[in-house]
Amino acid sequence: MGLEFLARVRSSTLWLAGLAALMLATYVGWRPGAALAAGAVGSLLNLWALERLIVALTGPERRTREAARRAGWALAGMLALLGAGGLVLRVLPPAVLVAGFLAPFAVMVLKAAAAILLDSPLWGRLTRSSWRALALLLAVAGLAWAVAASLPSPGGASNGHGTPAALSGAGQAGAPGGDGAAPAGGSPQAVGGGPEKFVNVVSLLARAFPGATWAHWLHRFEPVLFSMLVALLLAVIAYLATRSRRLIPGPLQNVVEYAVETLYDFVTGILGPRYGPRYVPYLGTLFVYILAMNLFGLIPFMDSPTSSLNVTVGLALCTFLYVQYTGIRELGVLGYLDHMAGNPRSAISWFMVPIMLPVHLIGELAKPVSLSCRLFGNVFGEDMLLVAFTSLGVATLAFVHSPIGIPWQFPFLLLALLTSTIQALVFTVLSTIYLLLMLPHEEHGHEEAAQPAQ
C-alpha cells in the first residue's frame, strides 16, 4: 500500500507541478517556471532514491550483495542530487525552487487529508443527500472565489481592464505603440491586432529565450517541426501495431487494421479494383496524416500544422505532382497531352483544342490552390474560434477577479473534432477524384460491367 501511495503521489505531482510550471513560465517568466519544475523533479528523484534505499535495506533480500549494490547506488544518487541542487540554487530563484521541492510533500498531506475526510462520518452525512453535496460544492467554490478575489494581481498579468495580457490584442505583448506586430519570439497575431493563437511549446521557448538564435529558428520552422512530430508519432504507432502481429489481434492492432480496411474499401470503391489497391497507400496515408495534424492542435500546448498555409500548400503540391505523374505513367506522354487537349476525335473537337488546352491547364493549376486554401482556412478558423471563445470565457468573470472563466469554447472543441475529420476526408476525396479523372476512362472500376457475360 505504501509503494502504491508513493506512485500515486509521483503521478499527481508531475501533473500539478508541470501545469504550474508552464503557467509560471507563460505569465511570469521562464526562470520561475524552470525553478518550480526543477524543484519538483529533484524532489521526486530524491524520494525515488530514498524509496530504493529503504527497500534495499529492509526488503527480504537485504543481506545479499545485490541489495548492498542498490543501496550504494541510491546513496550516490541522493548525494548527486544534493550537489546538483546547490548548483541550481545559484541560477534559479531559491523561493520558487523550494516551493517546487515541497510540492510532493504537499500532495502527500492533501492526499492523506482527503483520505481521512472521505472516511469520516461527517463526510458521509454531508454527501448522503444530493442537495447537501451540491450546497457543499457551491460553498467551496464561493470560498475559493472570495480568496482569489482578495489576492493582489501580479504585475504584468493584466492590462488594467480585467483581461489577461496573454489574451489581449496588439500592443500588450508586442512592440510599443500597439501596431499589431507580433511579440518578439511569440506567435503572430491576427491582422488588425486580433487574438493570438494558443501558446504552444515552441512559442513558449521562443518567449522564454527571446535573444537566442536557436529559439528564433524553432519559431520560424514551427509548422514544420509539429508536422514532423505528428509523422513520427504515426510511425511509432504503426510500428507498435505491426511489431508482433497475431491472428487474434490486440486492441492497437485491431484499430489499425480496421482503419486500413475502411480506407481500402473507400478508395477501391471510387477507383475500382484494378487501380484502387495501387493508390490506397498514398491516399490512406494522406487522410490519416491530415486528420492527425488537424486534431493535434486540440492537445494543450500543441499546434495544428495544417493551420499554416505552408503545410497545406506542400500537401496540395504533393497531390498535384502525383496526379500529373500518374497521368503520364498510365496514359503515356502522347496520351497525357491528348487528355489535356480534351481527347479530340472529330473536326469540331480539334477546332476546340486551342480553347480546351488552356482551360484544362488552368483547371489543373487551380486544384492545388483550392485544396490548400480550403484546408488552411477551415483549420485556422477553428483555432481562432476557440481562442476567441476562450478569451470571452476569461473576460466574462474577469471583472470580479475570478480564478476561472466560463468554458464557452467546450462546444466548439466537440465541433472541431467533427470538422477536422470532415476536412481530412474532403482533401482525400478530392485527391482521389483527381486521380480518377487522370486514369484511362474505360478502367474506372467498370471492368466487370464492360466484359460480356460468359
411 and 358 fall within a common domain:
yes
Inter-residue contact 328 to 338 (CB < 8 Å): no
138 and 212 fall within a common domain:
no
Q: Which of 265, 266, 372, 251 is nearest to 314 (CA)?
A: 372
The one-letter code for the residue type at 141 is A
> pLDDT tens digits, the chain, 454 residues: what are they?
456 767 777 778 877 887 788 777 777 777 788 888 888 888 888 778 777 777 777 777 767 777 777 778 878 887 887 778 777 777 788 888 788 888 888 887 887 787 787 777 877 777 777 777 777 777 777 776 666 555 554 444 444 343 344 333 333 333 344 343 444 333 444 434 445 778 888 888 888 888 888 888 888 889 999 999 999 999 999 999 888 888 888 888 899 999 999 999 999 999 989 889 999 999 999 999 999 999 998 888 889 999 999 999 999 999 999 999 999 998 888 888 888 888 788 888 788 888 888 888 888 889 999 999 999 999 998 888 888 888 777 777 666 566 666 777 888 888 889 999 999 999 999 999 999 998 886 544 444 444 444 3
pLDDT at 235: 93
Structural domain contains residue 157: no
* Backbone dihedral angles phi then psi of residue 3, each to the nearest 5 degrees: -65, -35
| Rounded (to 5) percent helix, strand, coil in the chain | 75, 0, 25
242 and 101 fall within a common domain:
no
402 and 281 fall within a common domain:
yes
pLDDT at 194: 45
Dist. CA 97–CA 152, nearest whole Å: 22
* Backbone dihedral angles phi then psi of residue 206, each to the nearest 5 degrees: -65, -35
Inter-residue contact 222 to 203 (CB < 8 Å): yes
The C-alpha torsion from 417 through 420 and 425 to 426, rounded to 10°, is: 140
* Backbone dihedral angles phi then psi of residue 158, each to the nearest 5 degrees: -135, 155
**231-226-21 Cα angle (round to 5):** 125
208 and 230 fall within a common domain:
no
Inter-residue contact 425 to 267 (CB < 8 Å): no
Dist. CA 197–CA 263, nearest whole Å: 33
Structural domain contains residue 437: yes
DSSP sequence for 382-449? HHHHHHHHHHHHHHHHHTTT-SS---TTHHHHHHHHHHHHHHHHHHHHHHHHHHHHHS-GGGSS-HHH
Dist. CA 399–CA 161, nearest whole Å: 8
Q: Cell 505504501 maps to which residue? A: 2
Inter-residue contact 71 to 53 (CB < 8 Å): yes
Q: Please, what is the end-to-end C-alpha distance for the chain in angstroms? A: 75
**426-432-435 Cα angle (round to 5):** 145
208 and 239 fall within a common domain:
no
213 and 255 fall within a common domain:
no
Inter-residue contact 257 to 246 (CB < 8 Å): no
Q: Give the DSSP H or E segment for 158.
A: none
The domain in which residue 436 lies consists of 225-448
7: left (phi over 0), alpha (psi -120 to 50) or beta: alpha
Structural domain contains residue 150: no
Dist. CA 40–CA 31, nearest whole Å: 14
224: left (phi over 0), alpha (psi -120 to 50) or beta: alpha
Structural domain contains residue 453: no
Residue 337's SS3 state is helix
18 and 132 fall within a common domain:
yes
Structural domain contains residue 153: no
Residue 356's SS3 state is helix
249 and 370 fall within a common domain:
yes
Structural domain contains residue 156: no
398 and 320 fall within a common domain:
yes
The one-letter code for the residue type at 396 is T
pLDDT at 152: 54
Sequence-distant (6+) residues with CB within 8 A of 195 are 167, 169, 189, 384, 387, 388, 391
211 and 246 fall within a common domain:
no
Q: How many residues does the chain have?
A: 454
CB neighbour burial string for 165-181, b if at least 16 within 10 angstroms, e if fewer:
ebbbbbbbbbeeeeebe
Number of domains the chain is built from: 3
Dist. CA 195–CA 394, nearest whole Å: 13
- Positive or negative: CA dihedral 61, 63, 65, 70: positive
Inter-residue contact 29 to 21 (CB < 8 Å): no
pLDDT at 432: 94
pLDDT at 442: 57
Q: Cell 523550494 maps to which residue? A: 98
323 and 236 fall within a common domain:
yes
Q: Cell 512592440 maps to which residue? A: 175
Dist. CA 31–CA 97, nearest whole Å: 10
Cα separations (Å) of 332 from 269, 323, 438, 440? Answer: 25, 13, 11, 11
pLDDT at 150: 59
